[in-house]
Amino acid sequence: MEYLYVKSLHIIFVVTWFAGLFYIVRLFIYHTEAEEKEEPTRAILQKQYKLMEKRLWYIITWPSAILASLFAFYLLYLLPHYLEQPWMWVKLSFVLALYLYHYICHRIFEQLQNNVCKYSTMQLRLWNEVATVILFAVVFLVVLKNAIGWIWGVIGILLFSITLMMMVKLYKRLRAKKDWEKQ
């Protein structure tokens, strides 16, 4: 019974951690887009985005990452035989990659808090997909408990992402052409 409670809490905090990671990059995109606005709109938007980013980052995302990890360690304590399974080591590698992603997001967060925009909105949109790929890989690993099966899930999301990006680019070109024809 203890295992089920700990597993439930782990899943809840993994979900909130990913929600925070997905939303923080969205806020980074909006924050960066605000750079293109005229004053005083730019200043107002950036002040608001800084506040939203700070609250999301320190009230939801960081605590969720820490709690998800604490409950994960407790699960491994309760079920140490999982560490003997190859899929678990692949999963832990993806969790390490997720922490690296989190760290890089933290660096971007700090830069934006200091009014430094080093990334374009397109780069940030692509960056947002990295967390999605990690999520897919981890979910397939945990559900299939197979060190190789996750590859098909990641290939699927990558193909889907590429298709989606191509459609967005096509839409932008068509819209730009239509706007140009109106002038």
Contacts of 146 (CB under 8 A, 6+ apart): 87
Task: Read off the tokens for 111.
Answer: 């830069």
Residue 11 exposure: Cα atoms within 13 Å on the Cβ side:
9
Query: Cα(86)–Cα(92) distance, rounded to whole angstroms?
Result: 10
Contact of 117 with 32, CB cutoff 8 Å: yes
Q: Is 91 annotated as a binding residue?
A: yes
Q: Under 8 Å CB-to-CB from 11, ≥6 apart: which residues?
A: none
31 annotated to a ligand binding site: no
Binding-site residues from annotation: 10, 91
Binding-site residues from annotation for heme: 10, 91
